[in-house]
Homo-oligomer: A and B are copies of this chain.
Amino acid sequence: MIVTSGVMEEAEVESVSMNPLGRKGAAMATSQEQLCIFGTGDLGRSLGLRLLQSGYRVAYGSRRPHSCGPLPEGSRVMSHEAAAKAARLIFICVHREHYTFMETLAPYLKGKVLVDLSNNLKKGMYPEPNAAYLQSLVPGATVVKGLNTLSAWALQKGLLTGKQVCLCGDSKRAKQAVAEVATKMGLTVLDRGALSAAQELEDFPLQLFPEWRLPLRIAVGLTAFFFFYLFIRDVIYAYVEEEKDISYRIMVSLANKVFPIVSLVMLSLCYLPGVIAAFFQLYRGTKYKRFPNWLDRWMLCRKQMGLVALGFAFLHAIYTFIIPIRYSVRHALISRVVDEMKNNKTTPFDFDYTEAWGTDSFYVLGILGFFLYVLLGLTSLPSVGGSLSWREFSFIQSKLGHLTLLICTAHGYIYGWNKFLRLSTYKWYTPPGYMLCLVVPSVVLVLKMLILLPCVDRTLTRIRQGWERSPSNATEKSTATNL
């Protein structure tokens, strides 16, 4: 007999060889195991439906087996006691407040695996996690926390394939049994360790876009800062120094200055950590040391940063498209013509070739930048990104990403090409917004160019393939060249 590690019980191997079901039979038998569900609410019903569809038999445990509403066809309803006896795995789809009834069932639950799917409405409602509470009520059973991220709706629709669910529990065997059922339902299972991790798992479904928080905070902070900065420089300045009321510009003109600025800064912040990481690796001469925590967190939210930047760029584009239909713009155009005619000056009407080239280049760079932006956004859609090979994905996100940054930065530079030397640009001795926003992208681009220098690039490539500089670990080199 082949007992690979001596860990599993004899009986198991025995059962395989003893009963000669043949393949079909074996497989069918495996899947026709009976599972039990406590609770006939939405979640219980949907879970049962899904389990039936995955080839299990399902028995519901209910206090009033005869009056518990419509259950999925093919399932059976019985008392809690009978249901508990009928299965080795029991899914608990009951609110925590009603767990107490299980105390009385304790003798029937001995040796069973209880899967706790419950969630709370808020964080910190109870001192201990639901799963720990359940375990304390039924010490003889093995509690596994998990699958609590599944919604009744997703279960009903069958939108499970490839979804990741977490499990935790103190018994490896129990987790393995639950993992198997979950895998049969099309889920991907992630083991999160002992039952002490239950709190974390229960907090999971209560989170709202955790990975979007940092990028959104940065975006709000930048927007607020640049809004007030430009508000003071433009509106207040005009009111104080020139006694003109241009507050109507807040709605569109000012916003259309703030959005591209925030977008460009966010985009560069999305590529900055990659560059910093490269310098860390170059300095340390190895890729096997962990990055500092802040850099890790930063790198993990690069995708979200980029998408927020795309959102701002999208707003900037639409704000720009509606410029010519605005009342104030039309008014300015008409009054300019009228002024022109009245004063009979013809100079400004000479066609300025430099101006024509300048503004057109400005627009073209903006359009190309936006186009690439949208392309980057599209490839970050899960289904598009998933269909790319790793090399293609990194080509788009790195090469095309830096190209986008370059083009958008150039768009910013051209905007100020003929303004930065005029004294009138520096109202109250402050630099205009577009200058401030060009700092970070320029730094990122310069650093990136340094990295692309052949000598630096070569070292970095070797480091990323596992080579290490430090002579003390020389002996490690060969292992380090693992894929």
Please report whether the interface of chain A is mostly helix, strand, loop or mixed according to DSSP: helix
Stretch from A217-225, A248-256, A403-411, A426-434 forming part of the interface with B = A248-256
B27 touches A21 (CB 8 A): no
A53 contact from B151, B188, B351, Cβ within 8 A: B188
Tell me the bound Cα distance from A204 to B383 in angstroms.
20
A180 contact from B27, B68, B190, Cβ within 8 A: B27
A2 neighbours in B (Cβ, 8 Å): 19-23, 25
Residue of B nearest to A87 (CB): B4
Contact A164 B173, CB 8 Å, known A4-B88, A26-B30, A88-B24: no
Stretch from A228-236, A277-285, A315-323, A449-457 forming part of the interface with B = A315-323
Contact A52 B191, CB 8 Å, known A21-B11, A483-B44: yes
Residue of B nearest to A69 (CB): B288
Contact A483 B349, CB 8 Å, known A162-B186, A248-B356: no
Least Cβ–Cβ distance between A304 and chain B, in angstroms: 12
A154 within 8 A of B: yes
Residue of B nearest to A245 (CB): B353
Tell me the bound Cα distance from A88 to B5 in angstroms.
7
A252 neighbours in B (Cβ, 8 Å): 360, 363-364
A371 within 8 A of B: yes
B4 touches A251 (CB 8 A): no
Q: How many copies does the complex hold?
A: 3
Tell me the bound Cα distance from A204 to B28 in angstroms.
28
Residue of B nearest to A167 (CB): B53
A479 contact from B68, B392, B483, Cβ within 8 A: B68
Least Cβ–Cβ distance between A373 and chain B, in angstroms: 12
Give per-residue flags for A307-345: 1 if the beta carbon is below 8 A from chain B beta carbons, else 0: 000010011011111111111101101111110110000
B381 touches A117 (CB 8 A): no
A207 within 8 A of B: yes
A27 neighbours in B (Cβ, 8 Å): 30, 180
A209 neighbours in B (Cβ, 8 Å): 392
Least Cβ–Cβ distance between A209 and chain B, in angstroms: 6
B1 touches A20 (CB 8 A): yes
A335 neighbours in B (Cβ, 8 Å): 349
Least Cβ–Cβ distance between A42 and chain B, in angstroms: 7
Stretch from A90-98, A261-269, A415-423 forming part of the interface with B = A90-98
A103 within 8 A of B: no
Contact A23 B11, CB 8 Å, known A190-B158, A205-B391, A371-B314: no
> Of residues 1 to 50 in A, which have CB atoms within 8 Å of B's CB atoms?
1-5, 7-9, 11-16, 18-34, 39-44
> Of residues 362 to 405 in A, which have CB atoms within 8 Å of B's CB atoms?
363-364, 367, 370-371, 374-375, 381-384, 386-387, 389-392, 395
Contacts A/B (CB < 8 Å), 23 sampled = A1-B19, A2-B21, A11-B19, A16-B29, A26-B30, A27-B30, A28-B177, A40-B479, A41-B480, A41-B481, A63-B479, A93-B482, A95-B465, A158-B190, A208-B395, A248-B360, A251-B360, A251-B363, A252-B360, A324-B324, A334-B336, A338-B341, A341-B341
